Structures are given as structure tokens and as C-alpha cells.
Structure 1
Amino acid sequence: MPGPGDAAAVDRPVDGGGAVTAAKPGRSRISGWLAEAQTSAAGARLPALSIEVVALVALLLAAVGGSRLWALAPAVVAAGLLAWTWRAGSAVAGTFVVARVLLLACAYLLGVVHGLDPTLAAGVAVAGLAVLTEPLLAAVYEAVYPVSANLPGLGSPPERNANSGRVALVNGAAVIVALACAFTGRFGAIALVAAVAALGFTLVTVLQGLRAFRARRAREKKLHAALTAYEPAFLVHWNAPAGTAYQLAMWLPYLERLGRKFFVLVRNQTNFDEVVALTKVPVVMRMGLNQLDDVIAPSLRAAFYVNTATVNNHVIRYTNLKHIQLNHGDSDKVPSHNPVFRIYDKNFVAGQAAIDRFAANGVSMPAEMFTIVGRPQVENVHIATAPIASITNPRVLYAPTWAGFYADSNYSSLLAGYDIVKALVARGCSVVFRPHPYSKRSPELARECDRIRALLAEDRRTNGRPHVFGAEAEVTMTVADCFNASDAMVSDVSSVVADYLYSEKPFVMVAVSTPAAQFAEAFPLARAAYVIDAHGGRVQGLDAALDDLLGSDPLAATRHDLKKYYLGDIPADRYAQRFLDEAARYL
């Protein structure tokens, strides 16, 4: 879920890497598959190859069949698949070049069958030139990227030129026009006009790209001088998959409260766009390792990190800086005791539990590498004021994590979530449902989220219970808002559990990766939780756990004791100040 994230991030391609992206609402199954295949690293060539094969069949039939009717069906299929794929994803200049050239060759051969019209032949040739120019256009625009935003002396990044994407559509339309004219054996002049217009648009867009490229180079030459004049005390290095901006967003308010100049360094345009939407502090984008010298201003004293992305080591090599890992949450997950934390000069952790977790899992870390700063993000979380048994119709937050990138970090309880929420509703509870944002990356988990939302919507309509779900819970409300709007929580192995501990309200943890009998040994925070066993796909102990959660709450004293262990022994009135004081020591 956004806000307190799951222990540590791993590197993934910007669009989610190997994770499966759920099809957008309203999209057909086939077009959704095409979009997924286009954006998947493994399937990037599959749609293109399919269209190329069909287009080649059309070309061969046009050559061998001696009649336009032989080639009609495969040509229409190839053109249709091309248009459908672009509709499912997005038209990108330089894609499906081979397929379109094959279709143009098919158009030429069909023109020969009719007695070649010189205007049609010229149209085919000009359209082919436009299509073959697209790889150059794509290369130019790949080199056009923002250098910085909000940095004094460099101004705002230039607007991105949407024409580079429209070129593929225009050229694709010229190919279809040429095919249509070839099949009819008429209107060759129309094909020529369409092709000339497409080529002209392509060339104008190439020139625009070249000007933007020169502007980017000019900004880069001024970057180091601009950062030197800005005099930042520290930088924040962030690289993460798209849609993970919560990792950084949770820390920005506290970094800004330090009252020192800083900038955010990102490594790709997706992250750049996400950060620019979050803050007014300078944002700098440097993609390559050899580009980083430009951002190491003489005034820099420290670098902060909010995940363990592999490219963090590109900045860690600057030994004149103090490198401090903040992470984006604290939990008992496997990534939270990854040996990679050794590469940082300091690891700011929430409490002693985070330190002990390394030793308990055989990862040797010198004590001086840790500093306990609490979780400043919970400073506004309300602490329970009454036993839950005294609350009529309590509201329960269900905040499941997602399936993780790898099998050893799949702790999601969503596959049992419908039964859990149904049982809560049957007990008269209202529910706040806030799944991890990555849940939508898995079609299976996305379906379970939809089932739960539908259940809550139906109960709200029928019984009037004030359930909170959808955009209200996942976008409008912050994590702290969800905590404060609830009297108890159901989650799994996630950093939200440790953060919720601050409220001293009761919570359930769902055991998925480990049987309930060994759950507390593997995940010590479960000592303060009522446990539902969902290991092996069967839900057991649900009623008993909910009885304790909503009734006598025998673990209230345990939660109070573990709160300091996990979240630091820090006075509530100065809770966030602990982080500010410790961070300021290195600036």
C-alpha cells in the first residue's frame, strides 16, 4: 500500500519488468494482451513478429497468386493487427517498420497486377521512405530527455513533442491508403498525396527533434555550474519502477523540514515525471554512470536513499559524501535484512527490531552502521483511547501487501481477502480497504481486489455501512488517514503492520508463506498479532482471530511493549524531531 512501503525495492525496468500488468478497464482481452506483450521485456517482439509474418504471407500471395484477391485477406489481417496493437498500447515511431514495408511491397505488386500506375508506385516509394525514416526519428527523440526541473539557472524542461508518436500513426495511415488504392487499382494520386504528407510530417518532426537535442546538450553544459551556484547540502537518489513514487513521497516532507537545500537525482524519465509532480525542489535526471560527475557539487555533504536499487552504487562510489539509507518502511520481510545494506555508511532504522533482524538472520552488520530514528511518518497517527470491545460496530482496515517480485517475498493475503472481509462484514464491521498499489500488476490479485470492492459496495448499498474503498481509500486518504479512520487492522507481512503498532490498536496478521505455528518465529512482529493461517491456500483460525481482535484483545500489553522495540523509545511530542536531529548531523 502507498505510504509505508515494503521493506526494500529491487531494480526493475521502468514499466514493471517481469510483473504482469493488468489490462485497463474496458479493454478487450485480446487488445489487453497485445498491450502487455508490447511492454513486456520477454514479449516485446511477439506482436511485431506476428504482424510481419502475416504481411509476408500477403506479399508472397500477391507475387505468386497473380490476383489481388489472394493477398486481400492476410493484408487486411496484418493492417488490422497493426492498428489494434497501436490502439491497445501506443503508437511509437520506429516500431513495426518491417511489417509496414512488407505491406507497401504487397501494394506495389498488386499495382503491377493492374498495370502499374506511376502515381501509385511513387506513393508506395514515398511512404516507404517515410517509414524507413522513423528509426532515425526514434533515435533523435531517445536522446531528447529532460536534464532538470526547478533548478535555478536552468529554467523548466522543454515540453515533450507529442508529434514523435503521431508520426507512426500518420505513416501507418499512408501505408493503408496505398494498400487500398492498390487493391482497387485506382486513385494512385491519393496514395501519393498521403505519402508526401506523411513524409513531410516525418521530416519536420525530425528537425524539431534535432533542435530539442541541441537544447538538451546546452542545458547539460550548464548543469554543474547551476548546481554549484545552488549550493545543495545533500541529494536524494531515487530509482524505482513506475508507480512507486510513494517510496520517496513519504520522506520528502521531512527532508524539506531539514531547512537545507537539496535536490532529487533520478535515472529515468518516468521517475523524473513522478518526482516533478511531488515537489518544488530541484529534480535532476542523469541516466548514465558517466553523467554523474556533473551533479556532485562541491557543497554536497550527504546522499540519502529510500530503497536498495542496484544503481544506488553509482552514487555510493563518491566517497566524499556520507551515504545514508532511509528505506521506505520496516517489516520482517526478507528484503529487510538483505546484506546490501552494508554498502551504506549509515542505515537509519525505526527501532532496535530492525537492527536485531540482521543478526537473527545471519547478516553481520557493525552496530555503528545503524541509527534509530523512529518512523517520522507515524507522528500524526492517533493512539487508541479505549478498548476495542467498547466500540460498537468497529471499523477495520484491511491493508494487504502484494505478491512481491520473487516467490520468497510473496506474503500477500489477498487470495484469502474476500473470506476475511466477508467475515468482518458479517460481524457488523465497516471496512476500509486499501491494497498495495502493486496488487493491480497481478491479474489474479487485481480480480480479488475487485471482488472485495464489489462485496463492500453491495453491503453499503444494502445495509448502509460506511465502508471506505476505491479511490477514496487508495488515493484521497493517506496511510495515516486510514490508520486513524480504523479501530483495528488486518494485514500480512508488511511494513504497515509496524507503523500501525504506533496506534496501539489491535491487528491481525495473515500467515501465507509460513504455517501459523511457525509464523511468529519467522516474523517476530506477529507476537503482537492475532494470526489467521492461510498457508497452503486454506483459511484457518479466522473466527478465533476475529474474536480476539474485536473482543477481549489479550495482546494489548504486548503491543504496548513491542511498540518501543519496533518504533523507537522516542517521546511522542518530539517523535519526528529525532529524525531531523540525526539527519542534520551529517549536513
Structure 2
Amino acid sequence: MGIQKDVGRAFKLVKDAMASRKAKTLLAGRLASREPLPRNHFTIAVYFADGPVNMYQMRQWYKPLLKLAETWPVLVLSRTGGGSLKLLKESPLPVAHVRSVRDLENVIHDQNIHIVFYVNQNPRNFQMMRYGRMWHVFINHGESDKMYMVTNQFKAYDYSLVAGQAALSRLNRVLWDYDFDKRAIPIGRPQADHFSGPLPYTPDSRQVVLYAPTWEGDRPAAAYGSIVTHGVALVTALLRTGTHRVIYRPHPRSGVVDHEYGAANKRIVAAIEAANAKDPAAQHIYDTGPNLGWQLSAADVAIVDISAMVYDRLAAGKPLMITRPVDPSALIDTSGYLSDCEWLDASATEGIAGALDALKNNTTAAARLDSWVQHYFGDTTPGAATARLHAAVAGLMTEWDRHAVLHAGDGLFDIPDPDSVDVPES
């Protein structure tokens, strides 16, 4: 058994090395064939130090940032080869591959960056945060009541753009000596202004159910994933009714830690394929597309795990159910929406059709939902969150200008030429 594992590991190392070499060649070709980035042009940077597996964190910001770039040009700074290759292929925003610190220095020297956005808490963020003549702003990759949303790492950034009153209350409750009145700026959920897109099915009388589970988590406290405990049973039950259409959108990291979780995911995919083969008119969807939006607005009801998907759906203001974690170690913040949501226990998954009918006719639940939407996101009128995002950025730009004038002539705002100083390579 040990020899078998060693052979497997060796094979994986060789396979990964070959894939890495191929990716480097492709990336070099793409970079060589494109036009150089214009100098002294970009005023906002989005720093992304992750690879393709976490690309979902960037994708949800494409449309809001593209709109923002109409006023303030935006450049994505990508640190990994795999991430850069993916971004160069799909990002609507310009991308700079900055593998080394020297590469990063070169771009900073060539541009006029006032604001740097961060979509996650990658440790390599600190290689960018060493620069003090720009605002470092955490924009996150979602809104939720997970413990990630109250990490003390918020204090590392000059400012954070948060969703609304729920986020402000959460930070004030957990973080010590954090000036959330100044440093946390509520903007709503600008992504919700772009929850649209062509449907991959023909609408009919079927009730459309979005099932969007998260991954299994890397520790018991974050064991929110439901594919094993809820998913197989509930999807199987819905596929049998003939009156439902399932949109299955699992987290991209599903199965990376737990083999059983990955196997359950494959069973669901196979069941959807079999159901469509039996009844092509059902048009059930296994969704792995890069864009998230139409799924949230088109589904009649959503079933999601404790994750940012809860709050993305909440921003859409439409019915949803939350899977209750089976692992008793999973932390659940019951001070917010999760104290008043519609829970789905694992034992109730086979009767999911009846539960969905009951939710559809529950006017009290609908009224409570509206109240929570206001608490988490404020005004959700189309365009309101986008306007708040632009106002926040305008305020930071004005503040940057004030500091630039205040320190004019003292040399503090001079970004040195990396060729004239000793810059580390990594």
C-alpha cells in the first residue's frame, strides 16, 4: 500500500511539473504577443495572488470593476503563472503578470496607482501592502456571517468596503479598537446590479431550484458543505418529480480535501446527466460557468450552504433555504440572518418537494426576508449599490489628492525606479 501511494505521488509530481512547464510556455507566448500596457494610465489596481482554483473571487468583481474603470482605469496585478494565464484569457480588465517583487515594482513605477483592491486574505498581500503612498482597500469576495468576515486581518487595510449594517455590527461586535465608522464603508452588493444573462434553458412551468453548495472546508469549524449530507438525496428527489428544474452549481473547490465529498459531487452530476437523457425537456443544469448572476435571479428558490452564496441570493431578494450543517463543530453565527432563516435539515431532504411548496406559500417568511435584505444590503434598487461603490471610490480619490498636496515636495510620493534600488526577486 505504501509503495502504491509513493508511485501515485511521484506520478502526480511529474504530471504537475509537465502542466506547469506547459502553462509557463503558454503564458510567455500570450505576454509576448500583446501590446505593452500604457504607462501612467491606471489609477486603481486589483491585487490577486492566487491561482485558477480561486478565480471565482475575481470573477464576481469583473462587471462592477469594468463599470468603475470607465471613470478610473483599473489594472489587475496577478502574481501566479496559472492565475495570470486564466486572467489573460477571460478578464475584461487589463492584466499585469507580476511574478516577482521586481515585476511588481516595475508596474508601480510605471503607473499612477492611488487605490489597491484586495479580494481575499492571501499572505502575499503583504508584499503589496508595503507601499504607503496608496490606499489599500479590502473588498472581499462576498458577504456572509462566516468567521472569515470578522478576521482581525481587516485592521491591516486602510479601508474595507462592506455590504451594509450587518457587516458594520459584526465588525464592531468582534474586533477590538477597530474604527469601523471611518475604515469600513458600506456599499451594498454592486454585483447584484449585474445579476443577469442568457438562460441555458427554455423557461416553462417547472419550478427552478438552484442548489449551490460550498466546499467541504478544511477544518470542523468550517464544515458547511452539504453535498454528502444533503445534496445527493435532495437532488435525486427533485429529479424524480418531473415538475422541477435543478441548477446545480457546486463550489470550484468541492472535493479538494475530502475524497468522499468529491465522489458525491460526481454522483450528482451523473444523476443530472441521466435525468436529462431520460427527459430532454427537463433541461437540468450542471453549472460550472465563470459567471454568477443569472442563476441567482432566475431561480424560483435557492438551496445553499452557509457561505457567501446565502447573501448573494439574499441580495437578489428571492426565496432561499439554508442547509443545516450536520457536524456539530461547524460554527453558526445566529446573531444575524441565520437566526431567522429557513433551515433544511439533512433528514428532510427526501421530502424537499413538499418543503419547497410550503415555502412558496409562506407570506410571513417573505416579509421577514425583505427586512433582512435591508439589514444586510441597504437600498437594493437597481443601480443603488453601484452608485455607492463609485461614491466610496470618489471619496478615497479625493482623500488621496489631499494627502498628495499636503506632502508635495517632501519626496514621500516619489516611487523609485526599481533599477536604481536593490529590489528582491520574489
TM normalised by structure 2 equals 0.77
The CA deviation string for residues 244-273 of structure 1, in whole angstroms up to 9 with x for no partner, is: 222112213322322222322121211111
**Residue of structure 1 in register with 2:95 after alignment:** 283
Runs of 4+ residues deviating >4 angstroms: 30-39, 88-93, 141-149, 513-516, 518-521, 538-545
Q: Contact 1:531–1:541 at 8 Å: present in 2 too?
A: no
Q: Contact 1:146–1:285 at 8 Å: present in 2 too?
A: no
**Residue of structure 2 in register with 1:430 after alignment:** 245
**Residue of structure 1 in register with 2:267 after alignment:** 451
Greater CA radius of gyration, 1 or 2? 1
Q: Does 1:522 align with 2:337?
A: no
SS in 1 for 2:323: strand
The residue correspondences of 1:455-474 to structure 2 (distance < 5 A) are: 455-463=271-279, 466-470=282-286, 473-474=287-288
Which structure features the higher share of helix residues?
1
| Higher RCO structure (Cα 8 Å, ≥6 apart) | 2
**Residue of structure 2 in register with 1:263 after alignment:** 75
Q: Contact 1:395–1:429 at 8 Å: present in 2 too?
A: yes
The residue correspondences of 1:490-569 to structure 2 (distance < 5 A) are: 490-512=303-325, 521-522=333-334, 524-534=336-346, 545-552=355-362, 554-569=364-379
1:157 to 20, 24, 32: 32
Q: Contact 1:235–1:302 at 8 Å: present in 2 too?
A: yes
Q: By how many angstroms is 1:347 displaced?
A: 0.6
The residue correspondences of 1:361-400 to structure 2 (distance < 5 A) are: 361-362=174-175, 364-367=177-180, 368-381=182-195, 393-400=206-213
Q: Contact 1:533–1:541 at 8 Å: present in 2 too?
A: no
Q: Contact 2:303–2:320 at 8 Å: present in 1 too?
A: yes
Q: Does 1:307 align with 2:182?
A: no
Identical-pair percentage: 24
**Residue of structure 2 in register with 1:355 after alignment:** 168
2:315 aligned partner, one-letter code: Y
Q: Contact 1:148–1:285 at 8 Å: present in 2 too?
A: no
2:391 aligned partner, one-letter code: D
Distance in 1 (CA, whole Å) between partners of 2:375 and 2:305 is: 19
**Residue of structure 2 in register with 1:418 after alignment:** 232
Distance in 1 (CA, whole Å) between partners of 2:192 and 2:166 is: 17
Distance in 2 (CA, whole Å) between partners of 1:485 and 1:417 is: 21
TM normalised by structure 1 equals 0.57
SS in 1 for 2:221: helix
Distance in 2 (CA, whole Å) between partners of 1:438 and 1:143 is: 23
SS in 1 for 2:124: helix
SS in 1 for 2:85: helix
Unaligned 5+ runs, structure 1: 1-29, 45-85, 94-137, 150-155, 160-218, 383-390
The CA deviation string for residues 475-502 of structure 1, in whole angstroms up to 9 with x for no partner, is: 28x3211123310011110111111113
**Residue of structure 2 in register with 1:233 after alignment:** 43
Q: Does 1:583 align with 2:393?
A: yes
1:493 aligned partner, one-letter code: I
Q: Does 1:341 align with 2:151?
A: no
**Residue of structure 1 in register with 2:408 after alignment:** none
The residue correspondences of 1:319-338 to structure 2 (distance < 5 A) are: 319-338=132-151
Distance in 1 (CA, whole Å) between partners of 2:388 and 2:364 is: 32
Distance in 2 (CA, whole Å) between partners of 1:397 and 1:332 is: 21
